[in-house]
A and B are shown apart, each in its own frame.
Chain A
Amino acid sequence: MRHLLLAATAAGFLLAGHTAVAATAYVSNEKDNNLSVIDLDKLETVATIDVGMRPRGLALSHDNKLLFICASDSDRVQVMDLASRKIVKELPSGADPEQFALHPNNKWLYISNEDDALVTVVDVDSEQVLGQIDVGVEPEGMAVSPDGKWAVNTSETTSMLHWIDTATNQLVDNTQVDQRPRHVEFSQDGKLLWASAEIGGTVTVVDVATRQPLKTLNFQIKGVHPDKVQPVGVKLTADGKYAFVALGPANHVAVVDAQTYEVLDYLLVGRRVWHMAFTPGEKQLLTTNGVSGDVSVIDVASRKVTKSIKVGRYPWGVVVTP
Chain B
Amino acid sequence: MRTLLPCLITTLGLLAAGPASAALEVRIGYLGYTPERGPVLSNVIPEPTDAGLRGAELAIEDSNSTGRFLKHSYRLDSVEAASGAALLEQARALHESGLRLFVVNAPADSLRQLAAAMPDSLLLNAGSADDSLRTDACAPNLLHTLPSRAMLADALGQFLAARKWQRALLIPGPTADDQAYADALRRAARRFGVKIVAEKPWTFDNDQRRSAQAEMPLFTQTAEYDVVLVADERGDFGEYVPYHTWYPRPVAGTQGLTPTGWHKTVETYGAAQLQKRFEEHAKRWMNDRDFAAWIAVRSIATAANKLKSSDPAAIRQLALSAELPLDGFKGRKLSFRDWNGQLRQPIPVVQPRALVTTSPQDGFLHPVTDLDSLGYDRPESRCRLAES
List A residues at the B interface (Cβ < 8 Å): 96, 114-115, 117, 136-138, 155-160, 171-180, 199-202, 204, 211-213, 216, 218, 225, 227-228, 230, 249
Binding site for A on B (CB under 8 A): 2, 5-6, 9-15, 62, 65-66, 69-70, 270, 273, 276-277, 302, 325-327, 331-333, 369-371
A209 to B212, CA, bound (A): 72
* Contact B11–A212 (Cβ < 8 Å): yes
Which of B65, B276, B369 is within 8 Å of A227, CB to CB?
B369
Q: In the complex, given contacts A114-B273, A157-B327, A180-B327, what are 19 additional A-B residue pairs having Cβ atoms less than 8 angstroms apart?
A: A117-B65, A137-B62, A156-B273, A158-B66, A159-B66, A160-B66, A173-B14, A176-B10, A176-B12, A179-B326, A179-B333, A213-B6, A213-B9, A213-B11, A216-B6, A218-B2, A225-B369, A228-B332, A230-B332
Given the contacts A114-B273, A115-B273, A227-B369, A249 and B331 also touching, CB distance less than 8 Å: yes
**Residues of B with C-beta under 8 A to A159:** 66, 327
- A160 touches which of B6, B69, B326 (Cβ 8 Å): B69
CB of B326, distance to nearest CB on chain A (Å): 8
**Given contacts A157-B327, A174-B11, A179-B333, are A138 and B6 in contact (CB under 8 A)?**
no
Smallest CB separation, B343 vs chain A (Å): 14
Nearest CB on A from B63, distance (A): 9
- Bound-state Cα–Cα, A174 to B371, Å: 34
Chain B residues within an 8 Å CB radius of A179: 302, 325-327, 333
Chain A nearest CB, measured from B282 CB (Å) = 15
Give the complex CA separation of A41 and B171 in angstroms: 61
| A104 nearest CB across to chain B (Å) | 25
Taken together as a complex, chains A and B put the C-alpha atoms of A176 and B179 apart, in Å, by 48
Chain A to chain B: the 10 pairs with minimum beta-carbon distance, closest first = A227-B332, A158-B66, A199-B327, A137-B65, A175-B11, A179-B327, A174-B69, A199-B333, A180-B327, A137-B62
Contact check, B5 vs A199: say whether CB atoms are below 8 A apart: no
The residue among B2, B302, B369, B370 with the most chain A CB atoms within 10 A of its own CB is: B2
Is the pair B5, A174 in contact by a Cβ cutoff of 8 Å?
A: no
With both beta carbons as reference points, the residue of chain B lying nearest to A156 in the complex is identified as: B270
> For residue B12, which residues in chain A have a CB less than 8 angstroms away from its CB?
174, 176
Nearest residue (CB) in A for B306 is A176
Residues of B within 8 A of A180 (CB): 270, 327
Q: Write the chain B residue with the least CB distance to A159.
A: B66
Most buried by B among A173, A218, A227: A227
Nearest chain B residue, comparing its CB with the CB of A98 = B273
The residues of B that contact A171 with a CB separation of less than 8 Å are 14
Q: Contacts A156-B270, A157-B66, A200-B325 given: A211-B14 contact, CB under 8 Å?
A: no
5 contacts between A and B (CB under 8 A): A137-B277, A158-B65, A173-B14, A175-B11, A202-B2
Q: How far is the CA of A218 from the CA of B276 in the complex (A)?
A: 32
Residues of A within 8 A of B331 (CB): 249
Distance to closest chain B CB from A200 (angstroms)? 6
Q: Nearest chain-B residue to A72 (Cβ)? A: B272
Residues of A within 8 A of B15 (CB): 172
- CA distance in complex: A140, B386 (Å): 36
Chain A's closest residue to B344 (CB) is A227
Q: Are A173 and B66 in contact (CB-based, < 8 A)?
A: no
